[in-house]
Amino acid sequence: MASPLAVQGGTAVRTRPWPAWPQPAPGVRRAVDEVLDSGRWSISGPYRGVESYERRFARAFAAYHGADHCIPAASGTASLMLALEACGVGAGDEVIVPGLSWVASGTTVLGVNAVPVFCDVDPDTLCVHPAAVEAHITPRTRAIVVVHLYSAVADMDALKDVADRHDLPLIEDCAQAHGATHHGAKVGTLSTAGTFSMQHSKVLTSGEGGAVITQDAELARRIEHLRADGRCLATASPPTGAMELVETGELMGSNRCISEFQAAILTAQLAVLDEQNRRRRDNALLLDQHLERLGLRPQTTSPGTTSRTYYTYAARLPDGELTEPAVADVAAALTAELGFSVLPSYAPVPANRLYAPRTRQRFALGLAHEELIDPKRFHLPVCEDTAQRTITLHHAALLGDAEDMNDIASAVEKVLRHGAALAH
């Protein structure tokens, strides 16, 4: 007789450990020790006669993408806010963002006193739908933000066409897509600016951190001032012991700088990114085959994608099956079988309990503004349906081998077989 579900006391499909994340790259410990002994732990510290790791990482990350400029920052949130403000977005402006994403897609727009306008997504790629973007453009629209979500690249051909026709800056949120390509070009270089997160869970991580890349020298200079209290790095090395940051008086900013420790870690981790991404892609293709056989629909990507990055593996549950239990219960059952966290898709941002502008006094800018940022005014049927039928796995699961993919498929098959019991 088949074992009952592990969540109901049965034997789990798997008890072996999964690949750990993060995985330190060769050279990380040496680089961190170098910073410890350097006497300079931040670019706001005195110059010590050697190039900072912040500059080394900026140069390496720009070269990796084929971008002219990279400005490291404290987080992905900081990076996106810097890009928005550098593009001229401010109080009362509307910014179009996807309705299916991490909550920061909304809070970053609020953070520059602008109004997030949430759009529905493509049901297959789960990225913002170009037609929905165009339908939401108004005279108050000042920018479009596109998120390359989970493992998909958004339809950049169509989105660039919309942005160009309406003369709007297009910002790529690449927090989940380090290394993905579209028509052979790295994401982040397909728009006005590309923003990245290096938070703990990301495929390139230093625990926390971020970056903005752009081909626009003037935009890069504004971002540099905005992230360092209105200062920018000197064009030539200063005397040892002097400050490398120059007080230009051009633009007031805030402190959103990355530390030397984070920059050192990222410089080393960047060297292994492509190989890790290749392994994830190979395993994702195997998992696609297994899950399609079981009736699931793995997330697809847009035309023009030449290389995917799997930050999260997402798949839609089979039509007509597992309709009674909530998707959270299905995910919990899979987690119990695998010993690895399986989660539902993100909730639509306006429905996310973490997206609550009324809990922050700083956003109380008058009744009219509060009505514009009220989450209840958005109806996003594709986002809502996706959240009820999609399961996701973190990319660490894809760093294993074919046997690991077989285990995932076996767990899904078992939960499908016991779906009726799970519903009670």
In a domain, 364, yes or no: no
In a domain, 247, yes or no: yes
Q: What is the mean pLDDT of residues 370-394?
A: 96
Q: What is the mean pLDDT of residues 275-280?
A: 98
> How is residue 65 written in tokens?
């993408």
Give the pLDDT score at 424: 67
Band the pLDDT of 169: cuts 50, 70, 90. very high
pLDDT at 224 > cutoff 90: yes
- 256 plus 315 within the same structural domain: no
pLDDT at 148 > cutoff 60: yes
pLDDT at 3 > cutoff 90: no
Domain boundary among 210, 239, 271: 271
Domain boundary among 271, 289, 322: 271
In a domain, 370, yes or no: no
Handedness of CA 263, 191, 278, 59 (dihedral sign): negative
Residue 176 is part of which domain span?
28-271
Percent of the chain at pLDDT > 90 equals: 97
pLDDT at 1 > cutoff 60: no
Q: What is the pLDDT of residues 37-52, one digit of tens each?
A: 999 999 999 999 999 9
In a domain, 356, yes or no: no
What is the reported pTM? Answer: 0.97
Domain boundary among 225, 246, 271: 271
Give the pLDDT score at 237: 94
Give the separation between CA 295 and CA 319, rounded to whole angstroms: 8
> How is residue 411 written in tokens?
């767990």
In a domain, 367, yes or no: no
In a domain, 361, yes or no: no
Band the pLDDT of 423: cuts 50, 70, 90. confident
- 84 plus 126 within the same structural domain: yes
- The residues near 350 (Cβ < 8 Å, ≥ 6 apart) are 99, 106, 118, 375, 376, 378, 380
Give the pLDDT score at 408: 98
- 142 plus 162 within the same structural domain: yes
- 265 plus 297 within the same structural domain: no
- The total number of structural domains that make up the chain: 2
CATH number where 332 lies: 3.90.1150.10
pLDDT at 400 > cutoff 90: yes
